[in-house]
Amino acid sequence: MRLLVTGAAGMLGHDVLRAGEHAGHELIAIDLPDLDITDARAVDAFFARERPEGCVNCAAWTDVDGAESKEDLARAVNATGAGNLARAAAQIGVPLLHISTDYVFDGTAPLDEGGRERPYIESDPTGPRSVYGSTKLEGEAQVLAASTRHTVVRTAWLYGLDGKNFVDTMLRLAREREATGSTPSVQVVDDQVGSPTWSGHLAPAILGLLEREVRGLVHLTGAGAVSWNGFAKEIFRQADVECRVEPASSEQLARPAPRPVYSVLESERDDVLPMPPWQDGLAGYLAARDGMIQR
């Protein structure tokens, strides 16, 4: 497949390119400044010239807190830009896969028939509480409205080798605090629960969706659930790093944009293959980070 990857310079974009190369696809990698996805004419001209056979859109405004004060900029990329790509792909009759987020939900855990918390599935109602979540939801709508061949993949708690991420931050803080001579410790919220997702697992999974022509709305994350606090503890355990993880509340560590308290995702679709457990994703990331496995 002649595959266009937008946002190719980002964390997920890098892994999509690696997965695409391993799968034997012909890749067209594009990012700013070579293509501004908020410019509809430029996007249309690019698709007409390059004639890709499929597209994965990894481009996004990902500054969650910054979006609260820069709503127009976030919407231009996450909603209008996504729509421009989707419509340009539809015009030449090719599928587009767009990456979305767990932030489209309000964070109130759905309940099963027994009154127990269950993961969000594709058919659950949305209700974003942040500008970032709202603009991503608008992007979903524009992509799905452009063509029945398009796909929207909601993922969550993404981390990878080629970008700033929670795992790297935890390990860096532990090293810095160990260097002071004291017992290292970090404070991490324990009242937000989700599904950590390694981009090294997500990238081949989304290419599989394109190759198998899975359309519409899809949830795709590392399997299982954990709090950020529990995730930090598992990072240090797997990395064999001594660091105490102290509990904290979201209120204590308040950020400009509200985070979903609960955002565990799961697919209800029979045509979506589950990803490995989040613990396996973490192990894969750490091994790749240390050069123990091929990137």
CB 105 within 8 A of CB 124: yes
* 132 part of the active site: yes
Token digits of residue 145: 């409205």
- Give the residue carrying structure tokens 């629960």: 193
103, 132, 159, 262: which is the annotated catalytic residue?
A: 132
Half-sphere exposure of 200 (CA within 13 A, CB side): 19
What residues have CB less than 8 Å from 92, skipping those under 6 apart?
47, 48, 51
Amino acid letter for position 17: L
Which of 71, 81, 197, 89 shows the shortest CA–CA distance to 134?
71
Q: Which residues are catalytic?
A: 132
